[in-house]
Amino acid sequence: EQAISSYNADIMFFSIASVSESGILSDWSEDEAKLRIEMSKNARKTVLMCDSSKIGTSSTFKLFDLGLTAEHSGAPQLRTACH
């Protein structure tokens, strides 16, 4: 995590295992979830890439809540591209 904090990115493209009905993004790997969270803090823009098979599912480790990212939490705004 410390090594990731030294990186900056204009755009961070990432994927996840699940997007719940309530908009919670989650994944199966704790290490990968932590990596995405830390890297998103140093990215100017964060873009989620997923397909429809991820929608309506959930996994073990929570990354972000799409319902709160723009107004209430410290997580970056996420632009979704789910097809």
pLDDT digits 0-9 by tens, 12-52: 999 999 988 888 999 999 999 999 999 999 999 999 888 88
Q: Which two tokens mark 47?
A: 């873009």
Q: Would you give the distance in Å from CA 8 to the centre of its chain?
A: 16
Which residues share a beta bridge with 19?
A: 25, 55
User: What's this model's pTM, rounded to 2 decimal places?
Assistant: 0.72
CA atoms within 13 A on the CB side of 77: 5
Position 68 pLDDT exceeds 90:
no
Position 80 pLDDT exceeds 80:
no
Q: pLDDT band for 6, please (50, 70, 90 cuts).
A: confident
Contacts of 79 (CB under 8 A, 6+ apart): 45, 46, 47, 48
Q: How high does pLDDT run on average in the chain?
A: 80
Task: State which H helix or E strand residue 15 sits in.
Answer: none
